[in-house]
Structures are given as C-alpha cells and as structure tokens.
Amino acid sequence: MKRTDAPLAFAITSKGDDTSNALAQKMKTYLLDFDLRCDEEEPDLVISVGGDGTLLYAFHRYCHRLDKTAFVGVHTGHLGFYADWVPEELEKLVIAIAKTPYQVVEYPLLEVTIRYLNGGSEAKYLALNECTVKCVSGTLVMDVEIRGDLFERFRGDGLCISTPTGSTAYNKALGGAILHPSLEAIQVTEMASINNRVFRTIGSPLVLPAHHTCLLKPVNHVDFQITIDHLSLLHKDVKSIQCRVADEKVRFARFRPFPFWRRVRDSFIAD
C-alpha cells in the first residue's frame, strides 16, 4: 500500500499523438487540483498514456528508480497488457490516485549482461518485455549454455528471451507460452531454427526458473543486433550474452482487480 503524509509525486508520459497528449494534459490538471505534485525527475507514480509501447518507454526512462516508482497505464488505442485503463475512466482513475491508498504488484524482469572481447568490459540492461539476439548478416550461430552446461548449438534467425509480462508480446508471435507474471521465470524462444539431419535444436520454448542462467556464446560471428524491448543496438566484439531473472522488479499500481487471464482473453480472444 502506498500513501504517506507527503503529497504523491506523479509524472505523465504520453505516446505523443494528439489524443494521448490531450488526455495527459487533462489528467495532469485534475491531479494538480487534488494537490498532488508533478515531479518528472523523482515520481512515486508514473502514468503512461498511449499503449504498451509507451509504457516500455516510461519503464526505461525511470529504470534507475524502480524501487521507488510505480507505473499505471491508460490506453488510447486497443487494450494493452500494461495499459489497462480506458480514457472514459479518466476521472475514476484520478480520484483513485488522489484518494485511495493503492496496492503495488511486482513482476519479474530480465537482466541481460553483455560481455565484450576487448578489455573485458560489460554492459548490463533490464528488460520489461524481452531481449532478442540476431546476426547482422547470415545465420545466427550460438552455443546455448544453461546453468553452466552446454545445452545446444543454435542455428537460425535469432533467439528471444522474455519475461512473463513480455510473454504476450514478441514471444507469443514466436510460438512461446503465455506465462503468468507471478512466475519468477524467463522464457527462451527460437526464431526459425535450422533443423535437419546435421543441425539440431530443441525446437520448443524453454522456461527457466530464477536460479538458472542462460548464457549465449558466439561461435563464428561476434557482432550482433540486440534488442532490449523497443531499443535496438548493434553490439560489436561480443564474447557472451547472459540472461537471467533480475533481482529488480517492476512495480505496477493497482487500483482495482484486473486478473491476468481476463486481460489475455480480452486482448486476444474477446470481440
């Protein structure tokens, strides 16, 4: 439960289109009328107005203070997994933020550590949805180690390592399972693996628990196109890519129950 004597500090991120901007402005005015404080640098609550993509941006903007900031999403398009309030509920949400203590739910994140050949440097990232690894040109060839043991030599278009909340995004398009976000796990899915009499991969998505690390080791190429959520970067001279469940968690402000499986049904099945 969040509520102290100090007025709640909020920040609003907008998708940037006219509808989202107008909604964000209206919300800001209402929240200020309730004597809440707007603080773009150190918000207790970040309200994302747009879609799931907008919440991904907001997450990375405030990634350095995940233990102090909670997120809530209003969608201005179709129902999202992270953005589950509709514009018609704006007043209801504002009152809920201003008047009621809110519950915080925590979901697992993916930690990605990229180590480089030159000088032993490394870069660490947190992903809310997933990390994908592809070759700049040609087939991706990677040794996949799980918990220190060689599992397989992967050949194909790429690999996707996702969080439970990211399992409904790219992972789902790759035939991965939808994981309930209460599971502390990551999922490894293949992109068009080569499978014939010579080359063999498992062919099924793998779900790894929090204490199992997945290490990807390049075999022939060392330059890779790596995505962390919406962020895509070319990484050169890569020695290894380590993926595991992060110690950090993302915190969402919950003002009403919205069960995960109902959200899945509403997004993918219901008319």
| Closest approach of ligand NAP to the CB of residue 56, in Å | 5
Cβ contact 26:51 at 8 Å: no
**How far from each other are the two terminal CA atoms of the chain, in whole angstroms?**
34
Three-state DSSP at 77 gives coil
Catalytic one of 35, 44, 52, 143: 52
Distance of alpha carbon 238 from alpha carbon 185, whole angstroms: 25
Give the one residue of 8, 9, 28, 53 binding ligand NAP; rule: CB under 6 A: 53
Distance of alpha carbon 32 from alpha carbon 79, whole angstroms: 27
In a 13 Å sphere around the CA of 219, the CA atoms on its Cβ side amount to 14
Site for ligand NAP in 197-226 (CB under 6 A): none
In a 13 Å sphere around the CA of 139, the CA atoms on its Cβ side amount to 13
Give the one residue of 14, 48, 76, 165 binding ligand NAP; rule: CB under 6 A: 165
Selected range binding ligand NAP among 74-82, 99-107, 182-190, 251-259, rule: CB under 6 A: 74-82
**52 among known catalytic residues:** yes
Tell me if 168 contacts ligand NAP by CB under 6 A.
yes
Residues annotated as binding site for NAD(+)?
A: 52-53, 129-130, 155, 157, 192
Residues contributing to the site for ligand NAP (CB under 6 A): 51-53, 56, 77, 80-81, 129-130, 165-166, 168-170, 173, 229-230
Annotated catalytic residues are: 52
